[in-house]
Structure 1
Amino acid sequence: MISPEWILVDEDAENKQDCIKKLITALQASGDVADPEKLYSDIMDREALSSTSVGSGCAIPHAHSTAIGCTRVAALRPKKPIDFQGPDGEEVRLVFLMAGPKKDTGIHLKVLSKIARLLHDPAYRSKFLEAPDAESFYAVLCQTET
């Protein structure tokens, strides 16, 4: 569902829209994104309902979309914090983007919940923020499986 190739560490991202576009571009390497513009539109439509900032400097933009064949996750740690217009007003330092088809609703909810739990854990947040590269960031995710 996630690969080190889809993790961007210390990436230049000017704003929320730029961040989401970069994550979609990274996900295109999976071969599962049929229409990146449609996926972007679906994610931004979801974002318009309410910010996907979950607090503590983290956001999880997500959407169901016909533009992607199966549920995928990408992550981005920006060089500079990004304003996600979250309810707490805190800028975002960790972004996990998740997208998948409607048929994957059960998986979507499980993964979304797991990512949210990880990001609310100060120890994991610190590990993600301190990871020197995509492989180390991915290794932190893999530690959560044990």
Structure 2
Amino acid sequence: MGRINIIGFLQPEDIIPDLTSDQKDQVLAELAAKVEERNPGLNRAELCKILQERERLGSTGIGDGVAIPHGKVKNAKELVLVFGRSLAGVDFNSLDGRPAQLFFLLVAPDEAVGIHLKMLARISRILKDPATRKRLLDAADAAAIYNVIREQDSCY
């Protein structure tokens, strides 16, 4: 399968620079709404249910202000990514107890295993860097956020 790039699945239109939600379930719903808007075949309500079930297994808040909610959806044709940012931060039951500010929502087709795991690993690797996280928080808008992600995506 080779190397997988975030930018192959994320466009500036897939980015919410200022999430309005301040609760975990609302953030999931806001991100799911963006998925539905950008991928009309996918249903927001069904996606919310899948994401909430996944969160019950354990928080996808990986710490350092980062959360990567994800789930598998039967009628997804390919991997779908959206990115959201909450400058205020949201309690996401993260591993380190800190609020999450940077969210990558990943939706994969039911049968996709390898690509799904590779993308999770790639996102984690890029967001491990404190300087990258700071640049994402400081970015002025969706286009600037996209440029930071694109730049980091090409480094690894």
User: Which TM-score tier does this pair reach, normalised by the shorter chain?
Assistant: over 0.9
Task: Give RMSD over aligned pairs.
Answer: 1.4
Q: 1:111 to 1:130 in 2, by over 3 A?
A: same
> Which residue type is aligned with residue 22 of structure 1?
E
Q: Secondary structure at the match of 1:117?
A: helix
Deviations 1:62-97 (A, max 9, x none): 011114322111111114110001221101111111
| 1:95 has 2:140 as partner | no
Q: Counterparts of 1:38-53 in structure 2 under 5 Å?
A: 38-53=46-61
Deviations 1:75-121 (A, max 9, x none): 11114110001221101111111011122221111111011111111
Structure 1 residue ranges without an equivalent (≥5): none
Structure 2 residue ranges without an equivalent (≥5): 1-8
The answer on whether the counterparts of 1:21 and 1:40 sit within 8 Å (CA) in structure 2 is yes
Residues paired across the two proteins, number = 146
Q: Secondary structure at the match of 1:93?
A: strand
| 1:21 has 2:29 as partner | yes
**Equivalence for 1:76:** 84
The answer on whether the counterparts of 1:51 and 1:87 sit within 8 Å (CA) in structure 2 is yes
> Which residue type is aligned with residue 40 of structure 1?
C
Aligned-partner Cα distance in 2 for 1:126–1:94 = 10
**Equivalence for 1:122:** 130
% same residue: 32
> Which residue type is aligned with residue 25 of structure 2?
Q
The answer on whether the counterparts of 2:60 and 2:94 sit within 8 Å (CA) in structure 1 is yes
> Which residue type is aligned with residue 150 of structure 2?
C
State the TM-score, normalized to the length of structure 1: 0.93
